[in-house]
Amino acid sequence: MRITLLVLLATLTALLPAQDTTAAVKYPQKVYQTVRTAEPPLIDGSPTEVAWELVEWSGDYIQYSPNPDNPPTQQTFLKILYDDRNLYVAYRCLDSEPAKIEARMGRRDQFPGDWVELNIDSYHDKRTAFSFTVSASGVKGDEFISNDGNNWDSSWNPIWETRTQIDSAGWTAELRIPLSQLRFSAGADQVWGIQSTRTDFRMDERSIWQPRDRNASGWVSRFGELRGLKDLKPRRNVELQPYVLAQHSTYPAEEGNPFVDGADSRFSTGLDARIGVTNDLTLDLTINPDFGQVEADPGALNLDGYQIFFREQRPFFVEGQNIFDFSLSSAEAGGSHTSDQLFYSRRIGSSPARFIGSDGGRSYYVDQPDNTTILGAAKFSGKTQSGLSVGLLQSTTQRELATIDDRGERSEEVVEPLTNYQVGRIQQDFRGGDTYVGAIFTGVQRSMDDDPELNFLHRRAYSGGADFVHRWKDRAWYLAGNTVLSSVSGSQQAILNTQTGFEHFFQRPDAEHLEVDSTATSLNGSSGMLKVGNLAGNFIFESGATWRSPGFEINDIGFMRNADEINYFGWAARRWQEPFSIFRRFQINGNYYATFDFSGESLYQGINTNSHANFTNFWRVGGGGTYLLQRASKTDLRGGPVLRRSAGAEYFGYVSSDSRKKVVAFLNHYGYTAFDASERQSSYYVQANWQAMDALSLSLSPSYTRFQRADQYVDQLEQADGSTEYIVGLVDQRTLSATLRLNYNLTPDLTLQYYGQPFVSRGTYTNFKRFTGRGQAPTFGDRFEVFAREAVQFDTEVGRYRVDGDEVMEFGDPDFNFVQFRSNLVARWEYRPGSELFLVWSQGATANDDPARGVVSSLGSNIFSEETRNNFLIKMTYRWLR
């Protein structure tokens, strides 16, 4: 039946009435001929200098969306010049109604209002490019493009200059791009790939200089050409960016605690550097980095036991992140396994592995660092003329100590060892970039010889793998795959902890293919992925599979949710990219998912369909549903047997108003219901954006989720006869949060940004049960036995439950009420290109409130309490370029 459903879905999707699938149209490649100028133009936004008369305007942009191949509503023209040090670009963006030009302001890389962009493939490898964007208001955006346009890295922040002007004919822009900010090989007569894009905001229209079929795959590989670059000499630039920082923190003093006296201050300095080692390769260094201006992580609380993935926001690790990207199983169909990464930079500088808590003042107090100190880090990266990409990263974190004050006597305990991290990545292009083969290596070494207290950590953790992508038939079809081997080693305790930890659970009593080895001092494993697809045309698809062996372990430097899994994913879509009827664009997707462990046990099977539409009135809607044919979990009982979860269905829907308006609203709803009512979830998310004026925008995003599950894990109790009792209960979790953002631009280079998020999650447990041992029983009542109400008693003095029966069982109170508030107010001034001044005020408050209180009252009484911590920071950087 399941195979039949999948075949029916694929057949129906393929036969949907509309345009037939057609081959991608091939357009003639455009060429722009530039010349060298002896007198550089003045960058003032008005390209009227004599130098610009050396070259011709190039226009004939065509629509890319919504009406491909049609002339744009407003035409665009560009010019390009160069000298020994810079590339100069001029734009003339015509507009028949200049008063209606959207000159909105925003943060760097926000692309507010009308904008125009130049992409430069200076390597001419048809896979990577540098992107420079300027809005009509003068806001800059810059991105590094990789994987033929599938990755756009906005963390790349080169030094360049731009100015714009609005006049009676529309608006103009001038750019000065130092050649030192681009990477290219030496050559007497260079040929670069280029593409230019213009977005007309009020028409929601995008036009491009080099025509490209909307149904074709690839972006960089379809650029036009820039010719006339004679005798360019790549500059081995040196950039130094020292910083100075002063910080003052205030917080509630704690009576008797010598480490919490109400205020702290610190002053520090550090250095970032970028050195051109060769024409193609660059060395990036950071010494004593500080990330005080970085936005705080959003609030999150997870009951299923899986670790939470937070995106990297620290500039040194974000910039060039694509070089080290090695996703274990990216998939168009999505799925939880797609978050697994061989390198997860948030591991570097994370919280210390060992925690020593104060005993509440009865005897001693502890001063423990919140994060490990990064002593320094270095990245060596680039791409050679032969198509070889190289990336090497090395980082060292400090040995961290906690200070203990025991009635005035001070001592120190180690909480994190001196640790070295390494990542090495190479990729070689073949067939003009249509094929590449790559390899990666990661390593972690911890110095723990003098720290037996840290024997629970791995001393060594290594992984190595290879990947490839092969494209053919004008890059429409592709075959991609990878394989990785991992090895961790350490004490017997460390490896035992890994075997029995959440990601592995070798101790599961029904897992005959697994065995705990308490004497082992190493653990090895493998993972891999293979997929095939076609992303060109109106009908597109992808299908593949991925695995993680039971012993696979990468969480010392990577991110992995679970081992001992084999996942299959299938995805197909029918899309209409040209307007018809009431639609500007329409797409319908179908997905099939299946998960097994290495014994062949089926853990998940689901079939999904969803569709998305953009209307001619500029509204967007979408929705979909999933039928979960089968669900079972090997983690729900935290090392116990596989637990069957009742079948059910989930759905989602969203609607978004016209994004061109001053006020834009977005509403999303998600719901899930088990067919036997053992589990329910409903969540609502609303986002309202208000462009109060060109220089001021506000965004408010409240969300509310209610989650109920009748078999939520509570505890496991060892019985006198050696058996284990697994206790579950009915949890009712309610989560409320709201994110407020404010952006105010005094100028394109002087911005004020605010981020604030209150977050509260309350969970109460009732209707406690014991696991019967029949984890695969078809009905919920056969899997669990409910305790009689009179048998369950709660001791308020000690906060524990007691269950009277043949054998008395006790377990702690699982109720919780977690409240958090985080905010950042940042004033940023780029007082000269690449040099910045930050003024930062951040607030934070975290509390565990009474679970009997409601989420709204808990939130209100805690985020405005006197327990708030305030941090004030002044940071100045100076970027020196040679």
576 forms beta bridges with 586
pLDDT tens sequence across 545-555: 999 999 999 99
Amino acid at 562: N
CA gap 124, 226 in Å, rounded = 10
pLDDT at 202: 92
pLDDT tens sequence across 98-125: 999 999 998 888 888 999 999 999 988 8
Smallest Cα–Cα separation from 820: which of 881, 783, 868? 868
**Nearest 10 degrees: Cα torsion 105, 111, 113, 117:** 120
The separation between CA 290 and the C-alpha centre of its own chain, rounded to angstroms, equals 21
CA gap 360, 355 in Å, rounded = 15
Main-chain phi, psi angles of 210, to 5 degrees: -95, 115
383 forms beta bridges with 389
3-state secondary structure of 17: coil
pLDDT tens sequence across 844-861: 888 888 888 877 777 776
Main-chain phi, psi angles of 293, to 5 degrees: -85, 0
CA gap 384, 395 in Å, rounded = 24
Determine contact, residues 244/261, Cβ cutoff 8 Å: no
446 torsion bin: left (phi>0), alpha (psi -120 to 50), beta (else): beta
Task: Name the residue with tokens 């500007």.
Answer: 584
The two tokens of residue 850 are 């009474």
109, burial (CB in 10 Å: exposed 0-12, middle 13-18, buried 19+)? middle
Residues belonging to the chain: 882
Residue 748: cis peptide before it, omega within 30 degrees of 0? no
In angstroms and rounded to an integer, the radius of gyration of the C-alpha atoms of the chain is: 29
CA gap 42, 6 in Å, rounded = 62
Determine contact, residues 810/801, Cβ cutoff 8 Å: yes
**Nearest 10 degrees: Cα torsion 11, 14, 17, 22:** -160
Task: Name the residue with tokens 């890389």.
Answer: 109
CA gap 90, 79 in Å, rounded = 5
Task: Name the residue with tokens 């070689």.
Answer: 428
CA gap 327, 529 in Å, rounded = 10
Check the CA dihedral 283-285-291-297 and report its sign: positive
343, burial (CB in 10 Å: exposed 0-12, middle 13-18, buried 19+)? buried
pLDDT at 359: 67
Residues near 598 by beta carbon (within 8 Å), at least 6 away in sequence: 513, 549, 550, 564, 565, 566
Report the number of distinct structural domains present in the chain: 2
Residue 708 resides in a domain = yes
Residue 190 resides in a domain = yes
pLDDT at 12: 41
Q: Which domain holds residue 123?
A: 27-232
Residue 109 resides in a domain = yes
CA gap 662, 426 in Å, rounded = 46
CA gap 327, 438 in Å, rounded = 13
H or E stretch at 857:
helix 855-863
Domain finish residue from 199, 232, 265: 232
Determine contact, residues 502/529, Cβ cutoff 8 Å: no
Instruction: Supply the DSSP symbol for 321.
Output: G
3-state secondary structure of 14: helix
Smallest Cα–Cα separation from 768: which of 783, 747, 785? 785
The CATH number of the domain holding residue 44 is: 2.60.40.1190
Q: Report the chain (882 residues): mean pLDDT per 10 consecutive residues.
A: 41 40 72 95 94 95 92 96 95 95 89 94 90 95 89 85 95 94 83 96 94 88 95 80 92 87 91 83 87 72 82 79 88 91 93 82 82 92 83 94 89 94 94 90 93 93 96 92 97 96 95 95 97 93 96 96 95 93 95 95 95 96 95 94 94 96 96 96 97 94 96 92 92 95 92 93 95 93 93 91 86 93 92 90 87 76 73 92 76
The HSE-up count of residue 863 (CA atoms within 13 Å, CB side) is: 20
pLDDT at 849: 82
Residue 99 resides in a domain = yes
| Cα distances (angstroms) measured from residue 818 to each of 305, 636, 799, 865 | 16, 22, 17, 15
| Cα distances (angstroms) measured from residue 755 to each of 691, 698, 843 | 16, 10, 10
Instruction: Supply the DSSP symbol for 342.
Output: S
The CATH number of the domain holding residue 685 is: 3.90.1150
Domain finish residue from 180, 213, 232: 232
CA gap 222, 192 in Å, rounded = 12
Smallest Cα–Cα separation from 729: which of 706, 711, 707, 715? 711
pLDDT at 576: 93
Domain finish residue from 210, 232, 254: 232
The two tokens of residue 519 are 């004497």
Residue 736 resides in a domain = yes
Task: Name the residue with tokens 């269950």.
Answer: 803
Residue 139 resides in a domain = yes
pLDDT at 249: 92
- Long-range CB pairs of 252-256 (<8 Å, 24+ gap) are 252/866, 252/867, 254/361, 256/361, 256/365
pLDDT at 864: 64
| Cα distances (angstroms) measured from residue 97 to each of 17, 74, 94, 107 | 40, 10, 9, 26
Determine contact, residues 360/426, Cβ cutoff 8 Å: no
Residue 300 resides in a domain = no
The two tokens of residue 394 are 């090395």
Other C-beta atoms lying within 10 Å of the C-beta of residue 543: 18
Smallest Cα–Cα separation from 436: which of 485, 486, 382, 479? 479
Label residues 431-454 b or e (16+ Cβ within 10 Å = b): eebbbbebbbebbbbbebeebeeb
Residue 308 resides in a domain = no
Smallest Cα–Cα separation from 377: which of 363, 397, 361, 357? 397
CA gap 801, 812 in Å, rounded = 6
